[in-house]
Amino acid sequence: MKKIISLVVLVFITAIVAAGCSSDSSSGKKSDDKVYTLKMSTQQAETAPIVEGFKELAKNLEEKSDGRLKMEVYPSAQLGSDDDVIEQAEQGVNVAVLTDGSRMGVYVEEMGIIGAPYFADNYEEVLKITQGETFKGWEKQLADEHGIRVLSFNWYDGPRHFLTNEPIKTPDDLKGLRIRTPGSPVWQESVKALGATPVAMPWGEAYTAVQQGAIDGAEAQHTSTYPSRMYEVIKYVNKTSHFQLVNGIIVGEKWFETLPEDLQQLLLDETKAVAQKNAEYVASLQTDFEEKMKAEGMEVVEPDVEAFKKAAEKAYEVLGLTELREQIYQELGK
């Protein structure tokens, strides 16, 4: 009888230990069947190619997590401005936001150089920078000091150009023109250095602002210009390619730490993988979107890019980014 009782007690204890192990999220294994939901915010329109990437990411996350990690995509600033959503993320809300280096420069000043004019000539160059040791240090600083976790920073949306109702050949042609641009200090100072008067406002308001005469134009990439139907209120797209728009997806560190380790790793891996695929897709669409805008009546202007590059130097001087640029160029061997 004593042997039977001892055996029952042993089985009972083993069951308790096993249950405890399975519920321990620190083990790095699937911990429970709890469903985690992440709300993905972007100012991009529903029809933007990058939003297609977010939807693919959402599908992959749900399938590969057996339904334990879901992503809901909210385009057209449905959850509010990027700054508002970033603040929510810092507080631990289950939101993610598409952002860029210049906006992250508000938190880690040096990171703003990613959004400086003519800092890189193409996606491949910026990608090398975001995979380097200097950038990794910035990511750690964001997490440790500001509670912002970078999931990936390899989403590409193409080169940005000036959109106006008069042709722009040189920086002098931009003088006096009120141009919409995001509110980050690097982009504001850069647009000013290139000759225009920067006006900060959400992208979703740019169409109406041009239509009503509140601004004279904007600067944006083809993959936003065409889906937002800017060709209805803008006549010229001036191909300055002053910014190479590489974006990142960030979440709050507080929320990220609530995920079991297997879901953390899945989120990091899948976000990077889908971003790479989507970047190639976006790059392939540049010519197609340009042709569609021309078909809608827009005229494409080929400006004096060298004159714009020369004017851009003032932004680096004012922002104190000249030495940092040289340091990073040395890392790249450029």
* pTM summary value: 0.80
User: Which of 311, 284, 316, 318 shows the shortest CA–CA distance to 156?
Assistant: 284
Residue type, 84: D
Please name the fold of domain 33-332. Answer: D-Maltodextrin-Binding Protein; domain 2 (3.40.190)
Report how far residue 169's alpha carbon sits from residue 194's, in angstroms, rounded to the nearest whole number.
Answer: 12
Report how far residue 313's alpha carbon sits from residue 77's, in angstroms, rounded to the nearest whole number.
Answer: 33
pLDDT at 263: 98
Do 188 and 198 touch, CB atoms closer than 8 A? yes
Q: Tell me the angle at which helices 322-332 and 123-130 cross, rounded to the nearest 10 degrees.
A: 90
Terminal-residue alpha carbon distance, the chain: 81
pLDDT at 45: 86
User: Which of 239, 226, 196, 228 shows the shortest CA–CA distance to 297?
Assistant: 226
pLDDT at 21: 44
Structure tokens at 177: 């023109």
Report how far residue 308's alpha carbon sits from residue 318's, in angstroms, rounded to the nearest whole number.
Answer: 16
Residue 136: phi, psi to the nearest 5? -60, -35
Structure tokens at 3: 């042997």
Per-residue pLDDT of the chain (334 residues; tens, 9 = 90+): 444 444 444 444 444 444 444 444 443 444 568 999 999 999 988 988 999 999 999 999 999 999 999 999 999 999 999 999 999 999 999 999 999 988 898 899 999 999 999 999 888 888 888 888 899 999 999 999 999 999 999 999 999 999 999 999 999 999 999 999 998 889 999 999 999 999 999 898 999 999 999 999 999 999 999 989 999 999 999 999 999 999 999 999 999 999 999 999 999 999 999 999 999 999 999 999 999 999 999 999 999 999 999 999 999 999 999 999 999 998 888 7
Report how far residue 99's alpha carbon sits from residue 227's, in angstroms, rounded to the nearest whole number.
Answer: 19
pLDDT at 32: 67
Structure tokens at 218: 């904007």
Do 209 and 217 touch, CB atoms closer than 8 A? no
Neighbours of 33 (CB within 10 A): 8
Report how far residue 25's alpha carbon sits from residue 69's, in angstroms, rounded to the nearest whole number.
Answer: 15
> What is the SS3 string spanning the chain?
CHHHHHHHHHHHHHHHHHHHHHCCHHHCCCCCCCCEEEEEECCCCCCCHHHHHHHHHHHHHHHHCCCCEEEEEECCCCCCCHHHHHHHHHCCCCEEEEEEHHHHCCCCHHHHHHHCCCCCCCHHHHHHHHCCHHHHHHHHHHHHHHCEEEEEEEEEEEEEEEEECCCCCCHHHHCCCEEEECCCHHHHHHHHHCCCEEEECCHHHHHHHHHCCCCCEEEEEHHHHCCCCHHHCCCEEEEEEEEEEEEEEEEEHHHHCCCCHHHHHHHHHHHHHHHHHHHHHHHHHHHHHHHHHHHCCCEEECCCHHHHHHHHHHHHHHHCCHHHHHHHHHHHCC
